[in-house]
Amino acid sequence: MAKLGFIGLGIMGKPMAGHLIEAGHEVFLNTRSGVPQDFVDKGGKACASAKDVAMRADIVFLMLPDTPDVEKVLFGENGVAAGLTKGKAVVDMSSVSPIATKDFAARIEALGCDWLDAPVSGGEVGAKAASLTIMVGGTEAGFAKVKPLFELMGKNITLVGGAGDGQTCKVANQIIVALTIEAVSEALLFASKAGADPAKVRQALMGGFASSKILEVHGERMIKRTFDPGFRIELHQKDLGLALDGARALGLPLPNTATAQQLFSVCVANGGRAWDHSGMVKALEMMGGHEVAKG
């Protein structure tokens, strides 16, 4: 069994780390709010700092909210870099800036360690079910070393390319998800306003070319009015911010991504920072003066 580290035990990180512990690995844990007692009871080892995790583990996983959090945990006082020795590996499963990730990778690789950026898609449901999609950037050798561990947390696991390419893939994923949520929101709002039963419209669409995971899962949320996360709007806003910043640097227009970001901003302005991202429909509802009929 491997000696693993896991830093960040939030909505996503907690079940992901749990799968590693349940598989029998020795897992060293650190999180800002303190390691839960039930993880210690299951065999997890609580550590006082990120440095301590890196000193004791051969492969260190990170699952953190944003780019500054990753940089601080890696290179801040008592950070991961201070505890690494040659031959270890760092795997960042957070969703952060591809540009910053390339810098982080270079600094970790300069210490003689492997780097993988491996952001995920699938939300809390996928994390709990160990069915996450994992998009990996790094070397083939590093990927081969860590892939058996990825398989404990996810199903669709792809080495996309070099360092930073996993994060680029995740940004692309978040563009598609946001724009599809917007499309499903418009469709169900239109159907409801026109007098049709949105639940039956959704059921009909699920059998045709418009079918998607977003229509299946988030369409149901819109109809049932269940907007507890899931995946919080504030986190999806962060991801679209990465997309728009990257597009600006590349001189690339992303007009519909910008629109989706503004709709999320409407939600945040109305107290929806912590709504599930399917709550984007509420922005359109406020603008249209009509709510999708509750199913």
Among all residues, which ones are annotated catalytic? Answer: 170
Closest CA to 135 of 158, 115, 155: 158
Backbone dihedral angles phi then psi of residue 140, each to the nearest 5 degrees = -65, -35
Contact 181, 262 (CB under 8 A): no
Contact 153, 91 (CB under 8 A): no
* Residue 40 CB neighbours (<10 A): 12
Six token digits for residue 47: 């550590």
DSSP 8-state secondary structure symbol assigned to residue 277? G
Burial of 140 (0-12, 13-18, 19+ CB in 10 A): exposed
One-character DSSP codes across 23-90: TT-EEEEE-TT---HHHHHTT-EE-SSHHHHHHH-SEEEE--SSHHHHHHHHHSTT-HHHH--TT-EE
**How far apart are alpha carbons 24 and 198 in whole angstroms?**
46
CA torsion sign for 72, 157, 3, 16 is positive
Q: How many helices (H) and strands (E) does the chain have?
A: 14, 9
